Every structure is written in structure tokens, then in C-alpha cells.
Amino acid sequence: MATEDNSGRLNKVIMCAGVLNILGLILIMIAVLKLTPITLIVSITFGGFLIAVALILYIFAVVQDLRMRKVL
């Protein structure tokens, strides 16, 4: 029962990370579509931050899954 709850939670974490990754990529694409200094700075800063948060969530989900499987 506990592993089903954890796997459901991990699925939500992975889905959230995917959404953040897509939003970060969209923000970075703004700099490509409309290239001005302010859009470049804003899109790379916030887009990079969202992608970094998504990466941290992915790593968290992998580590938790490995702990559930008693690998770590």
C-alpha cells in the first residue's frame, strides 16, 4: 500500500517536472522569436531557472524510486 502511494506521488513529481521543463523551453524560445536585450535576459534567466528546478525534481524522483526498490 505504501509503495503505491509513493509511486503515485513520484508520478506527480515527474509530471510537474515535465511541465516546468516545457514552460522553461517556451520561455527560452521567446528570445529566439523576438530578440531584444531585455527578452534575452528575462527568458534565459527564468527559463533556465525553471529547467533547473525540473532537473532537481527529476533527480529527486529517480533517487526516491531507487530507494523504494532498495537499490540505494
User: Looking at residue 43, what is its pLDDT?
Assistant: 92
Grid cell at residue 27: 520561455
Distance CA 21, CA 69 (A): 26
- Residue pair 24/48 in contact (Cβ under 8 Å)? The answer is yes
Q: What angle do CA 24, 8, 10 make, to 5 degrees?
A: 45
pLDDT at position 4 over 80: no
- Per-residue pLDDT of 19-69, as tens digits, reads 999 999 999 998 889 889 999 999 999 999 999 999 999 999 999 999 999
Answer yes or no: pTM beyond 0.75.
yes
Closest CA to 64 of 2, 5, 10: 10
User: Looking at residue 2, what is its pLDDT?
Assistant: 58
